[in-house]
Amino acid sequence: MRIVVLDGRTLNRGDLSWEDLAKLGDLEVFERTSPEEIVRRGQDAEIILTNKTPLNRNVIADMPRLQYIGVMATGYNVVDTVAARERGIAVTNVPAYSTMSVVQLVFAHLFNLAHHITHHTEAVRNGRWTSSMDFSFWDYPLVELAGRTMGIVGFGRIGSAVATAASSFGMRIVAYNGNRIPAMPAAISFIALDELFSESDVVTLHSPLTPETREMVNSYRLSLMKPTAFLINTGRGQLVDEQALANALNAGRIAGAGLDVLSQEPPLPDNPLPGARNCFITPHFAWATTAARKRLMHEVTENVRSFLQGRPRNVVNG
C-alpha cells in the first residue's frame, strides 16, 4: 500500500516522527507539493495525505489507484469530497486535536488587547519607563475582563472551551450558532447574530466557512459593535471582510482586533490589515503547538490504520 504525504512540513518540522505511519505502508513524504506536481507524485498512491494541498475533481480523476484521502487538519475544504465519494474514496479529517491550543491563543490576543502588551513592551524597550517620573505608566485604558460580555460566534468544541475559559475570568457569555444545539448550557445566552455584535465587548469567531458565513463580519456588523469592543478571529480568514475591518479600526469604530487567520495565506502585500490601527496578527499558528501536532500525527496515523483494518473513522464524505 503506497502512502504519499503531499505537504509534510506543515505537520512535521523535524521535531516529530513519521515512524508509526511508515509501518502501515510504503511511505513517501514531500515537504511541499505545487499544483503542477500533485498528480505525478500521487498517481500510483492508494493513500494520499494532505493538509493544504488541494485535491480537486480533476486531480482525483487522474489518480486511478486512489482509495483514501486523509486531511491532516480539521477543515477539509481543500478536497472535493463529492468527487471523492463518487469514486468510492474515503475522506477523513482530524477533529479536536488543537482545541486547547486555539483557546490559549484566543486569550493571548485578548490579553494583549486588554493591556496593550505589545505597545507597552516596546515602550519599555525604548526607554520610556527608565525616563518616567512615576513608578508606573500606561498610554491606553487597561481593561478588566470581569463583568465584560464575550460574544462567541460558533459554539462547537472550540467555542464551548472558550466559553469555559471566559467564565473563569468572570465574563458574561453570549453565543450564536448556525445550528441549534440540543443541550444549551444554562449559563450562556444564545442570541441573534446582530444582537451578539451589538452587545459584546469581545467578539470571537469560531464558525466554519460556508457560503452563509463568508464575510459575516462586514461593514454593517462592525457598525453594530461598541467603539470599545475587540474582534478576535482564530477561525477562518474569509469570515471577515478585511477592508471593512481595516476601515473600522483606522476610524476608531472598534478598539482593536487580534487575528490568527487571513483570507489569503501568506497574505498579499496589499492586504489592508497588517498596517491597520490596533490590529495584531499572528501567522496562523494557533493549532501548531508541539502538543497539538503530536496529537495530530497520532490521529492521522490512527485514521489510516483504521481504514486499512476496514473500519474507517472520522469520515467526512460518507
Cα gap 276→9, rounded to integer Å: 31
The catalytically annotated residue of 41, 284, 298, 305 is: 284
65 is catalytic: no
Give the active site residue among 172, 236, 293, 299.
236
Between CA 161 and CA 272 the distance in angstroms is 31
pLDDT in tens, the chain (318 residues): 999 999 999 999 999 999 999 999 999 999 999 999 999 999 999 999 999 999 999 999 999 999 999 999 998 989 999 999 999 999 999 999 999 999 999 999 999 999 999 999 999 999 999 999 999 999 999 999 999 999 999 999 999 999 999 999 999 999 999 876 666 677 899 999 999 999 999 999 999 889 999 999 999 999 999 999 999 999 999 999 999 999 999 999 999 999 999 999 999 999 999 999 999 999 999 999 999 999 999 999 999 999 999 999 999 998
- Would you call 2 a catalytic residue per the annotation? no
All domains of the chain in start order, with CATH = 2-97+289-308 (3.40.50.720), 99-281 (3.40.50.720)
Q: What is the pLDDT of residue 171?
A: 97
CA angle 295, 165, 156 (to 5 degrees): 60
* Cα distance between residue 198 and residue 189, in whole Å: 14
* Helices 99-115 & 157-168 angle (0-180, nearest 10): 40
Report the SS3 class of residue 173.
Answer: strand
Among this protein's residues, is 28 annotated catalytic?
Answer: no
**Nearest Cα residue to 210 out of 247, 235, 185:** 235
Helices (H) and strands (E) in the chain, counts: 11, 12
